[in-house]
Structure 1
């Protein structure tokens, strides 16, 4: 997992969510605290952690390194669960299957908290199993590590609290005695008590997830493919092995592998999807920690197959007791190696997916590419308009490319304002500022340029109205998720004191080699 995580870690560009982590984590502790009062409180602990990490040396590799380590720890914990609940080769197979899952690899290289949350979820699950099985250890000693890890995981992302429902199902399936329930309830209650203030406070910031849609059947299918492997060659056998793992026999009393893995896999996504039918809150990355159940079940299914094959081969064969033990040992080692080879085969099949994910083109946008164009085409002192204001994230993530530009709409910078993208002037002041310009560069989302888009506030409406009515497009650069346009004022609306042509025009000699750069004649 560590090798796959480090492979291609420097993609050469951040996308929008990573850019938020990067620019917020580089603020002072006081500025981060100021920000959390208005937005992103759910990521507060992660931002504080990344502030310490990026203090060493700000950069994209260091930004993603905690996620790589988190994914590696999660893979090891999945292996530990398989070993403790079944046998070492099941743990080996489960850990390897977890490591080569494309969804795991994706978030292992993401500058967000999800890989760390997955590690915390797996760690809490392993501590639950140890607490239930450790009957000789005093109750308080058994449960306090579980409560601490669970609380920290939930503070990294509050939807991790759904793992408690999965653990409750595990205890119910294991038919544990009341003293175990009592210890678990105390630890779980303490974790919830720690999380509750964050939940209550973050409710006031719920508009941040207003973009989420109600999950449907395609959401379920997509999550199954994400968890088991999107390639059809892998998906079918994987699901068959998981079904065999569910039917694997466990102890009559006590936790079993299926009793741990199945609730972890099913309960958190099912509950979040159910709640999202009334208030959309579901996204597959919010339940990444539930993925750990899939390789555990698949490895348990593979163990059933290996056991059946072993019994068939040994059936009817009489062996001397002196050679039986070495034969059994070699058979176990051979079965473990065959399983490893099968996992390597899955890795070969999914390798193109893993390789493609190491490219910045596999993210929704590439702020580095757009920022490089701004640095090349826009001169110091040129006016720039961000439409909508959140497109200022390019300038916040890559300030060197925007150094010296005039941010037409900005009133208070983001760090000083305690917001993600800064505070802008009102509509009236913006109209006056734009009215004095002969040209303006506009950094925008592609959807802004469609006639169906309706701006959400008066300043955004003023931007769109003035640019469309008073200016015409001179040149355009299109990148994934971001568009840069040069607008020049229409002749009939040009102020008498304004120059007859913009002071800057696209430098076609630099841009002719770029197929995405399209000069236009007004």
Structure 2
């Protein structure tokens, strides 16, 4: 169905170059511009889970390294997902179900948010929706070639992000609900096993890098409620009707025996089981984050569209009965057949209009956790070639890696080996003693500081970071400050001998 694809493309391209990358996008941007051997070197120590995505983005950014190009694959992934959702609605329901489901996916703010994110999640969602469509096709005609295509789609999806493997749990529930014969279970198990074997080396490597997700917290009831609102659309006037339509779709009803599973048997496990599984695992090892289950969003519009189709069918039945009693045949007229789809499209247009402020908010730099472009703008105003710069902590170097032209020619005081050469994201810094010697030769230094590093209670574990804090505090005084969202750029000058025992405040 082309209409949902075009709508998702339009919404995805709207405001695509919003004028700044946030920190996760900046990682994609700077890693993807490395050579393939340098990317491979990096994956041995960090970010193995994103390895395939980085290689894909390397090809994209080699053609045109820009912020719009960084996000364009996600736009295409979101558009493909809308198309796959529409195709599932047509296959499991009827054309109007597919149209409504695809459009609902396209106008949901959560899908639009990640459609403009320079990370892998929209592509993972496309892979999961495509794999689900292939599963439905394989259940209709369980030939080896269909199972092979399904296995390939699942494998690629999981290589884009390994936690997508939970999708197999949803697909197993679909098979159980459809009561498929043993030969179908066998074909699915072989396909799922093949995909898992492809994923296994990545899982082993990324397990050794699990410290990267140490920041994740144990999700609570509030996380589940928030995710439900994100799946339906967070606006109050959208949530309630959406949930009513899902409830209508889930009402049991007698139906003819089919080769394929019912729409609820496909959509409900897809929407519920991946988040539920990560919620359960996260009680022991926190692994849940909203973006890791973005692909589960596809189930919600399918259920809502199926519920709307049921209601439309009931209304049409009453209309036809009343028409026959009155001697008219309005219900069978071609215009009558178009009435329900048009009403549904108009209702979705109202949903889009109501949620437009949310979509607009996501398309400005303030819609992301931070904006490294503001730090670069501040730096280009004050930094000149040869100026000494200290990043506190070292991850503050990401603004320089994302926008190197703003820091061109400056002297990175603490850096010993750059990221591409060291196989790290932000480079390897010198040891504490060498850093003290380097700072002792300076009469001034520009410090790019992350906001959390300015808190009085922040105490880094790394000895080099502690030396930065101690030397700057004891031997320098602040002279100039530029505050930007997410970071601060400060000029420190060496403390005069007469002030060696004071700690003057910033003027």
Fold shared per TM-score above 0.5: yes
- Where do 1:268-417 residues align within 5 Å? 268-318=274-324, 327-417=332-422
Count of residues in Structure 1 that have an aligned counterpart in Structure 2: 494
**2:101 maps to 1:101:** no
| Structure 2 counterpart of 1:5, from 7, 12, 25 | 12
* TM-score of the pair, normalised by structure 2: 0.95
Quick check: 303-312 or 388-397, which moved more?
Answer: 303-312
Instruction: Tell me how far apart the structure 2 counterparts of residues 318 and 356 of structure 1 sit (CA, whole Å).
Output: 50
Which residue does the alignment assign to 2:479? 474
- Where do 1:21-60 residues align within 5 Å? 21-60=28-67
Instruction: Tell me how far apart the structure 1 counterparts of residues 370 and 474 of structure 2 sit (CA, whole Å).
Output: 29
Q: Deviations over 1:150-209 (max 9, x none)?
A: 100000000110000000000000000001101100100000000011001111111111
Instruction: Tell me how far apart the structure 1 counterparts of residues 127 and 378 of structure 2 sit (CA, whole Å).
Output: 40
Task: Verify the 8 A CA contact 2:231 2:300 in the aligned structure 1.
Answer: yes
1:492–1:248 Cα change, 3 Å: farther
Task: Verify the 8 A CA contact 1:67 1:116 in the aligned structure 2.
Answer: yes
**2:129 maps to 1:125:** no
Which residue does the alignment assign to 1:194? 198
Task: Verify the 8 A CA contact 1:371 1:395 in the aligned structure 2.
Answer: yes
Instruction: Tell me how far apart the structure 2 counterparts of residues 472 and 20 of structure 1 sit (CA, whole Å).
Output: 32
1:436–1:299 Cα change, 3 Å: same
Name the SS for the 2:180 alignment partner.
coil
1:380–1:175 Cα change, 3 Å: same
**2:462 maps to 1:439:** no
Could you tell me how far 1:318 is from its partner in structure 2?
2.1
| Structure 1 counterpart of 2:210, from 185, 206, 211 | 206
CA RMSD of aligned residues (A): 1.7
Task: Verify the 8 A CA contact 2:74 2:120 in the aligned structure 1.
Answer: yes
Q: Deviations over 1:261-292 (max 9, x none)?
A: 00000000000011011111110000000000
Query: Which portions of structure 1, spanning 4 or more consecutive aligned residues, are displaced by more than 3 angstroms?
Result: 248-254, 323-326
Instruction: Tell me how far apart the structure 2 counterparts of residues 61 and 84 of structure 1 sit (CA, whole Å).
Output: 34
Task: Verify the 8 A CA contact 2:418 2:428 in the aligned structure 1.
Answer: yes
Q: Deviations over 1:81-127 (max 9, x none)?
A: 00000000000000000000001001101110000000000000000
* TM-score of the pair, normalised by structure 1: 0.92
Which residue does the alignment assign to 2:219? 215
Instruction: Tell me how far apart the structure 2 counterparts of residues 154 and 460 of structure 1 sit (CA, whole Å).
Output: 36
Which residue does the alignment assign to 1:61? 68
Could you tell me how far 1:305 is from its partner in structure 2?
1.1
Could you tell me how far 1:315 is from its partner in structure 2?
2.4
Instruction: Tell me how far apart the structure 1 counterparts of residues 459 and 229 of structure 2 sit (CA, whole Å).
Output: 35
Could you tell me how far 1:251 is from its partner in structure 2?
4.7
Instruction: Tell me how far apart the structure 2 counterparts of residues 357 and 143 of structure 1 sit (CA, whole Å).
Output: 39
Q: Return 5+ residue gaps in structure 1 as ranges.
A: 496-519
